[in-house]
Chains A and B, each alone.
Chain A
Amino acid sequence: MRAGPLSNSKVIALLNRSFVPVYAVNEEYAPKGPAPAEEKAERERIFKEGYEHHWSVGTVHVYVLRPDGHLFGTLHVAEAARGENLLALLEQAVGELKPASGPPVVPPAPQSRQPACEKDSLTLHLVARSLDGRGAWSDFPVEDWIVLSHAETQKFLGPERFATVTAWDIDNEIATKLLTHFYPATENNDVTKNKFERESLRATVVASDGGVARARIDGGLKMEHWFYHKPDGKFVEATVVGFVDFDPARKEIRSLRLVTDEATYGGGKFAIGLRSMETE
């Protein structure tokens, strides 16, 4: 949907002009999910109303609600993503309901946002991009936000003292926390299912200037990562290179950059770019 109708200029304009758009993540609305009980109840009410109408209802689905909250129409995602079906439903709603039109009720804003975190933690933004367009999920790059706590940044900078050519293996727990996100767009995004055959990140101080040291990072991984949620024998294999700038005296990371040099998954090529962000 995101790469299809939700990137279509007509759909975007119509949603902004005449609708109040919202998306709901099913995992958050699951019984143990973090959505408030009232939110979960409201989603269930909408589903129930759809069943009462004998309309198509599902968890990966489009629902159009009248201004009073009652259902106007529904569309299965497979239908909504195909051709002009979604546009037709939206235009039908506008034609029948004659809503007030104008600028978006909610100003558009980036939906991938830096998570709130402790001031002394390190926030990292990762992008995974297909390099050869292979695979059904390669329409656009995908992202992750990873937060290293202060304690984890201390573990990252392992040695007590640093000098040029000081080298160290980055703590395995921290390397795993970073490298487990080194996979392309897949339906399975449960990183607890990933299994490493090998992983390494080794840092070597290559420069020091003005109280800031720079270490080059070299490493790699071979990680089993299922495309769907069941074993399929697919592996990520990648070499990794990067740099960390840090204050050796205070053991504080100033910036971290990691990229894959060569990365493959299931016969396709992809790339990862990870960088630290300024704390907001």
Chain B
Amino acid sequence: MTRLHFMNVGSVISVFAAVLLGGSVRAPGAEKAATARDFSWVEQRIAELQPTAKEKRFDEIGWAKDIRSAEKLAQENNRPAFLFTHDGRMNIGRC
């Protein structure tokens, strides 16, 4: 209920605010486009931008926390270790 109240009042007030703050006059089409960018649009837009499971398949791999931990676990479990060294931060994609 609170959110609906925010949205309804907010969209009305934002128009008045724009006028009071000396916002520039827009063409009718532009006005419509601008006012459409309300809270629910922002929320939906953020949700749409989130990485999908398909884009985070990297997370399906059971990564050890560091090289020495991987080597210790490899020895204890009689498995080879797979090490990938890289620049940047692969975990967030900034690499």
Contact-residue bracket for chain A: 35 or more
Cα distance A262–B84 in the bound complex, in angstroms: 36
Q: Mark B37-61, 1 if CB is under 8 A from A, else 0.
A: 1010011011011110001111111
- The answer to whether B74 touches A60 (Cβ under 8 A) is no
Cα distance A110–B21 in the bound complex, in angstroms: 45
Q: Mark A248-274, 1 if CB is under 8 A from B, else 0.
A: 000000000111010000000001111
From B10, B42, B80, give the contact of A64 (CB < 8 A). Answer: B80
Contact-residue bracket for chain B: 35 or more
Question: Which of B21, B56, B67, B69: most chain A CB closer than 10 A?
Answer: B67
- Chain B minimum-CB-distance residue to A110: B59
Q: Count the A-B residue pairs with Cβ separation under 8 angstroms: how many? A: 274
Cα distance A9–B61 in the bound complex, in angstroms: 10
Q: Which A4-33 residues have C-beta < 8 A from chain B?
A: 6-7, 9, 12, 15-16, 18-27, 29
Q: Tell yes or no: B86 within 8 A of A by CB.
A: yes
Q: Give the residues in chain A near B60, CB-CB below 8 Å.
A: 12, 16, 108
Tell whether A241 pairs with B80 under 8 Å between CB atoms, given A25-B86, A207-B13, A271-B49: no
Majority SS at the chain B contact face: helix
Tell whether A43 pairs with B14 under 8 Å between CB atoms, given A106-B62, A127-B51: no
Q: Give the residues in chain A near B13, CB-CB below 8 Å.
A: 164-165, 206-207
The 3 A-B pairs at the shortest CB distance, nearest first, are namely A104-B62, A142-B93, A22-B70
Q: Give A contacts to B, CB under 8 Å.
A: 1-2, 6-7, 9, 12, 15-16, 18-27, 29, 35, 38-39, 42-43, 46, 58-69, 72, 77, 80, 90, 93-94, 97, 99-100, 104-113, 127, 129, 140-145, 164-165, 167, 185, 187, 189, 204-207, 209-210, 212, 214, 216, 241-243, 245, 257-259, 261, 271-275
